[in-house]
Amino acid sequence: MKIVMRDGRVFQGTALQIVKAMQDMAFGVEDFTVPKYIEWVVANARKFEEVALNVKGETDEELAASLVSEMLRTGLTAKG
């Protein structure tokens, strides 16, 4: 999978690889678990973009896939 963020950054790989790459670029979230980072992204999308991301899942992989899907659905990112 390949996605392009609105700022032009491109992420490629599985949904989990994409989410981990996004986390690597984010400031102050180095020690977050994947679920905690996704929670942070959802909160920031709501706060700064006024976008509600409905992320669901039990495992890191399910949560990551749900986050990427929701980001595509809401236009926060686009398929590359």
**Inter-residue contact 63 to 40 (CB < 8 Å):** no
Closest by CA to 18, choosing from 46, 38, 43, 32, is 38
Question: What pLDDT was estimated at residue 37?
Answer: 98
Question: What pLDDT was estimated at residue 71?
Answer: 98
Question: What pLDDT was estimated at residue 75?
Answer: 96
Return phi, psi of residue 48, to 5°: -100, -30
CA 78/CA 35 separation, integer angstroms: 22
Question: What pLDDT was estimated at residue 51?
Answer: 97
**Tens digit of each residue's pLDDT, the chain (80 residues):** 999 999 999 999 999 999 999 999 999 999 999 999 999 999 999 999 999 999 999 999 999 999 999 999 999 999 99
Look up residue 34 and give its two tokens.
Answer: 């994947």
Q: What is the dihedral of CA 41, 34, 1, 7, to 10 degrees?
A: 30
